[in-house]
Structures are given as structure tokens and as C-alpha cells.
Amino acid sequence: MIALLVLLSLLFLWTVVSDRMARWSITAPITFAAAGILLSGGEHPVVPLDMDTHTFQRAIELVLAVMLFTDATEAREYARLRGPVGGGRLLGIALPASLVLATLVGALVFPGRSWWLLAVAALVVMPMDLAPVLMILRDERVPLRVRAALNVEGGFNDGLISPLFVFCVANLVSAEGESFGDLLLNALKGAVYAAVVGSVLGFLASQAVRRALESGWAKPTSLRMAALALPFMTYAASVLVGGNGFVAAFVAGLWYATTVSVIGRGSLDLVEDSSHLLALAAWYAFGALVAEAFADGIALQVLVYALLVLSVARFVPVVAALTGSGFTRSERVAIGWLGPRGVTSIVFAVLAYTQLGKDESDFVVNVTAATVLLSVVLHGVTAEPVARWFARHANPEETAPTTPRTGA
């Protein structure tokens, strides 16, 4: 109960000073992570946070499920753009290449580590999350298609990575006697069950909401509760039948996106605010993990790995994938660099912490903590110079206003 009281008190205090803090570039993620380090870190924490319990694991899974649902509803946000925003290339070419490159970088920096563990680490640290530099999506100096490409990638990469993450973790913790084929079959079953549950519930919910609105049974404001209930309901239903709850929530969001375009984006205000709140709780847990991970200092290998995955492992595949797509060289460079890490990596790291053995979980937590912390600093510092550069080379047609995704 004390942890809940502390989090709610911190949230209240943050809301009354948030604008003032923003002027000093102190964001909500930084604030809650710092609070986690100070209050729940160390040998004698003020607010003990037991992350080994089944309840905590379920709670962190629900955070990701709600995030994936809200991300998926962004599917139609950029339909008004005249040309493609590179989403297919970023997700279909650059993302797989980045994961492979990050795994190879891990093998180079950490020789002797299991390939499955290196793959898990890559899957944890590579998904981008725009929350640490959310201001870039509101900055009209940056071309709209650059913001759109980042937004689409940030919205969909975690949904695509989550089943791979579950599969690789399963290979690390598999019981004796389970073959690779058994694990692969289980992963496929989980994904298929999740896709079916997400599609059925997403479709039925979309139809029910539309009918309710058309018949006058409900108003758009009251339907916000329906949008909030849907990701939780989908996650629970999928888990009950042995499916992947993350994938189910993501698929349901894709179906529900068609309804959002009809009844208005305001119908998602409640679920997006809830996602934001849950993400802040994840940042707090991240602070506690950071305090534990770096209690004895940071290894040079970990820092080198973090720098490489933040730069080379993402930058090279993105720039290569977008070559010939209509983006200018400066736009490709900006998209390649602006790939901050945030809540998605934190949630995956916490899940790895709760499921893997101590040595393996410590490894994943260490590289994640270093990567996210460096990302907050490096991407936070460079976002403004990038925007200034585009302002000096502005094309009025490409800097039209856009509506950013909500995030922590």
C-alpha cells in the first residue's frame, strides 16, 4: 500500500509543477526513474518493491498490453499524407536487420554468452519509444513525414517484437526435454490464439461501439470506458486460452482503429491517459532496477554495447532501408538517429528479470539500464539541434502540424 501511496503522491506533485519542470528539460520519465532509484533502490529501500512476485509480473504485462493497444490505434493517423512514410521499410527491413546486428554486436562485446541470451538482449534494447523525446513529434520545424515515420515505427515495433521476445525467453528457461520444435510450436500456437482472440474481440467491440453510437444508446464520451476496458479484456481472454496477451491487445487495437476514425480520437482519451499513468509506474520500477544493476558500478563492456546499439545497430539499417524511398539524406539520417529507448525496453527488461535466472537477468537488466539511460541523455540533448537544422532548411509543405501519440 505504501508503494501505491508514494506513486500517487509523486504523480500529484508532478502534475502541479510539470510545465515548470519542462522548461528545465526535466520530463516525467526522468522524474519517476529518479524516484525509483532514491526510494526503492539500495539494500534498505524506503519503499520496498518486490519484482519477483507473480502479481508484479502480471501487472507489468498489463502495462505493455495497454501500450500496444494504444499504439495500434495509430494505424490511420497519417493517411492524409500524400506519399508513404517508410513504415513498411522501417518495420519489414530495418527492424529485423537491427535485431540481427544488435545480436552480432552482443556476440562481439560479450564473447561466450549464449546466442539466445544475446537475442533476448537485442529484442529488449532495440524497440524505440518516443516518450523520452516526445517534444519532437510536436515540433513543426521537423518535416511531417519524418515525424510520421518515427511515430509509425514507435507504434508498431513493440507489437512485432513481443512474440519473438516471448519465444527467445522460453528457449532460455525451457524445461529439460522440450525441444526447439516444441517451443516453436508453442510460440506459434500462442500467436495464433492471440490473433484470433484479438480479432474476434476487436471486431465485435468495434461493431458494438458503432451500433451503440448510431442508435443513440451511448454518447462518445461514455464510450471512452469501452476503449479502456478492451485491452484488459482482450489480454485476459487470450491468456485464459493459452494465447499471447500482448499480441491479442495489439491486434484488437488494429481492429478498433477503424472505429476510432469514425467516432473520433477523443474516444481514446481515457485509455491513453491510463497508458501514460501505467508507463510512469514502469519508469519507477526501472529506477529501482537501475539502482540494483549499478550498485557495484557500470562495466565498460556494457557502456560500449549500449553506445553501439543506440547508434550503429539502428542507424545503419534504417538509413540503408530508406535509401531510394523518397526521403532526403538529412531526413534518413534524422530518422536513423532519433530512435530513443523507453518504456517498451523497460517492460521487456522487467519481464526478463522475473523469468530468467539471476546471471541472465542481471545481464539483460544491466544492458537495458545503460541503454535507456544513455538514450535519455543523448537523444534528449540532440533533439533540439536536429529541429533547428530542419528549420534552417525548411520546406513549408513538409512541416504541417501533426497530432502526436500520447506517451509517458
The domain limits of the chain are: 2-398
Q: Which cell goes with 257?
A: 482503429
Mean pLDDT, rounded, for 123-141: 78
Provide the residue type at 56 as one letter.
Answer: F
The SS3 of residue 314 is: helix
Question: pLDDT of 59-96, one tens digit each?
Answer: 888 888 888 888 778 655 555 555 566 778 888 899 99
d(Cα 365, Cα 378) in Å, to the nearest integer?
Answer: 20
Question: pLDDT of 187-233, one tens digit each?
Answer: 778 788 888 999 999 999 989 988 888 888 887 777 888 889 999 99
Largest Cα separation within the chain, whole Å, is: 64
Question: pLDDT of 234-249, one tens digit each?
Answer: 999 998 998 888 888 8
- Between 406 and 142, the more confident residue is 142
- Asked if 241 and 193 touch (Cβ cutoff 8 Å), the reply is yes
Separation of CA 224 from chain center: 23
pLDDT of 312: 92
Q: Which CATH number fits domain 2-398: 3.40.50.2300, 3.40.50.970, 3.40.50.1220, 1.20.1530.20?
A: 1.20.1530.20
d(Cα 399, Cα 27) in Å, to the nearest integer?
Answer: 25
How many of the other CB atoms lie within 10 Å of CB of 172?
18
pLDDT of 203: 93
Question: pLDDT of 158-174, one tens digit each?
Answer: 778 888 888 888 888 76
pTM for this predicted structure: 0.80
User: Helices marked H in 294-342 — which ranges?
Assistant: 300-310, 312-322, 329-337
Q: Which cell goes with 68?
A: 500496444
40, 168, 231, 349 from 283: Cα distances, Å: 12, 24, 21, 12
* Residue in 313, 379, 376 with CA at minimum distance from that of residue 37: 376
17, 213, 245, 272, 371 from 63: Cα distances, Å: 25, 29, 11, 12, 21
- Between 5 and 239, the more confident residue is 239
Residue 177 scores a pLDDT above 60: no
